[in-house]
Amino acid sequence: MHQARIILGIETSCDETSAAIYQQERGLLSHALYSQEHHKNYGGVIPELASRSQLEKINGMVEKALNDAHITLDDVDVIAVTNKPGLAGSLLVGVCFAKALAFAKNKKLIGINHLEGHAFSTLLEHSVPFPHLCLSASGGHTALYRMNGLGDFELLGQTLDDAAGEAFDKVAKMMEYPYPGGPVIEKLAQEINFIDVCNYPRSMDKSLNFSFSGLKTAVLYDLVKKGAYDLRAKAFLCPESRTLKQEVASSLLVCIGDIFKHKLSLALEQHPDVKAITFVGGVACNKYLKEHLSTLATKKKLSFFAPSSQFCTDNGAMIALVGSYKAAQGKFSDFDLDIFE
């Protein structure tokens, strides 16, 4: 088995356009990423605009990844590409581009679930022991996994409605802040030292699934009750009240942190043999949440790992990494690879 394969990873599942080069023996050789900024004007990602931008940027990102790794496309052995989940138009751009390259250059092709990419993304920078628990949180997904080995993982729980990142985005939008909402929520919360003023309800049941729609609604009706939000006009009525915004943001963040900690604690009771906790996905950029979960891991005498910020959001590096071990396992795709398979 050829263990030194060079993998080109391509990621276009949402509004990032990314490509990376990975080699099993040497690790990540290059990583190129373009993140679209124009969606901030709309309060969320506009699918058609996202896919148009993907079309414009994908060739440049692949060329940059190849150039930064000091190789050519002829040196690549396998092309790994995200084919699920994500926005249909954006996924099609990446999959069609990858299939065309693979066919033209007679390269192996591998379709990748980008949630698996997130789940293993800590391995780009850390040597994480197996088995471990992985909490993956982003704007579209929140899930808890037991990670047994490369490509071997078990879904323990997932969101039944809204994701954690979506709760941040929606609450920020209520207070008329731009997308994405996570960074501004954390900044506001930090200004009052992460105090839980509003005491929003936590889902503290015994299930390992998550639910954030009720929390989002609780914040909405708290603002309505305080005369700060008009439901009919969908308008925030206290734009100058920095204190109110701080209290809402801080209480929301502390609440989500408590929910994460509770679910992980339950999972640790059910899986006492795990050796570490990892925190991945876009929400893992949040320093407060990372410190919160790191404290839990220390208390449980476990190691804690999270990717650096560049590998928390959607990126080609994690796709290339997963592509590398799937190639080693002989798990290739046919040229009829489609999105959402």
pLDDT tens-digit readout, 311-328? 999 999 999 999 999 999
What's the whole-number mean pLDDT along residues 114-126? Answer: 98
Query: Can 6-121+312-328 and 128-306 be said to share one CATH topology?
Result: yes
Using an 8 Å Cβ cutoff, are 253 and 186 in contact? yes
Query: Quick check: 262 pLDDT over 80?
Result: yes
As a whole number of angstroms, the distance between CA 121 and CA 126 comes to 9
Fold that domain 6-121+312-328 belongs to in CATH: Nucleotidyltransferase; domain 5 (3.30.420)
Residue whose C-alpha is closest to residue 107's, from 80, 86, 82:
80
Strand order in the sheet with 108-113: 27-35, 16-23, 6-11, 78-84, 108-113
Reported confidence tier of residue 44, pLDDT bands at 50, 70, 90: confident
Query: Quick check: 2 pLDDT over 70?
Result: no
Average pLDDT, the chain: 95
As a whole number of angstroms, the distance between CA 193 and CA 202 comes to 20
As a whole number of angstroms, the distance between CA 189 and CA 205 comes to 26
Q: Does residue 82 sit in helix, strand or coil? A: strand
Instruction: Give the CA count within 13 Å in the CB-facing half-sphere of 303.
Output: 14
Q: How many CB atoms lie within 10 A of CB 53?
A: 23
Instruction: Please tell me the predicted confidence (pLDDT) of residue 242.
Output: 97
Task: List pLDDT tens digits, range 163-199.
Answer: 999 999 999 999 999 989 999 999 999 999 999 999 9
DSSP string, 105-138: HT-EEEEEEHHHHHHTGGGGT----SSEEEEEE-
Domain ranges of the chain: 6-121+312-328, 128-306
Reported confidence tier of residue 1, pLDDT bands at 50, 70, 90: very low
Instruction: Please tell me the predicted confidence (pLDDT) of residue 24.
Output: 87
As a whole number of angstroms, the distance between CA 28 and CA 238 comes to 48
Task: List pLDDT tens digits, range 63-117.
Answer: 999 999 999 999 999 999 999 999 999 999 999 999 999 999 999 999 999 999 9
For the chain, where are the alpha helices, taking DSSP H only?
A: 47-68, 88-105, 114-119, 164-174, 182-191, 213-225, 242-270, 287-299, 316-328
Query: Quick check: 38 pLDDT over 80?
Result: no
What's the whole-number mean pLDDT along residues 142-166? Answer: 97
Instruction: Please tell me the predicted confidence (pLDDT) of residue 341.
Output: 61
Query: Quick check: 6 pLDDT over 90?
Result: yes
φ, ψ for residue 337, nearest 5 deg: -50, 130
Tokens 């040196």 — which residue?
75
* Residue 173 identity (one-letter amino acid): K
Strand order in the sheet with 132-137: 152-158, 142-149, 132-137, 276-280, 303-305
Domain 128-306 has CATH 3.40.50.10790: no
Reported confidence tier of residue 40, pLDDT bands at 50, 70, 90: confident
As a whole number of angstroms, the distance between CA 233 and CA 275 comes to 50
| Reported pTM | 0.95
* Residue 129 identity (one-letter amino acid): P
What's the whole-number mean pLDDT along residues 127-152? Answer: 97
Instruction: Please tell me the predicted confidence (pLDDT) of residue 45.
Output: 87
